[in-house]
Amino acid sequence: MNTAAHFLTQFVFLVLLQTASAVCFAATTERPDQETRLLLQQTITKANSFKDRFDAEVWLVDMV
């Protein structure tokens, strides 16, 4: 493989790696805003489809 092709391959790999790490970082640092939190809390208190309130809270939080 010539030097230019090798350099291009490494460059593309590094760009993809950086993009993937940025997406993962954004996904772990994102938090719901106040409006979403209030909506979740209201929905949790109204939920009657689960026998156990804890199950309802876990399911609703997981759906966000």
Q: What is the pLDDT confidence band of residue 13, given thresholds at 50, 70 and 90?
A: confident
Residue 28 confidence (pLDDT): 58
pLDDT, average across residues 51-64:
81
Is the distance from CB of 40 to CB of 64 less than 8 angstroms? yes
Structure tokens at 25: 């970082």
Q: Are residues 17 and 1 located together in one domain of the fold?
A: yes
Q: What is the pLDDT of residues 24-50, one digit of tens each?
A: 666 556 677 889 889 888 887 776 777
Q: Are residues 10 and 25 located together in one domain of the fold?
A: yes
Q: Are residues 43 and 18 located together in one domain of the fold?
A: no
Domain containing 39 equals: 32-64
Q: Are residues 20 and 48 located together in one domain of the fold?
A: no
Q: Are residues 6 and 17 located together in one domain of the fold?
A: yes
Residue 9 confidence (pLDDT): 87
Q: Are residues 38 and 19 located together in one domain of the fold?
A: no
Q: Are residues 40 and 64 located together in one domain of the fold?
A: yes
Residue 1 confidence (pLDDT): 58
- Say if residue 61's pLDDT is above 70: yes
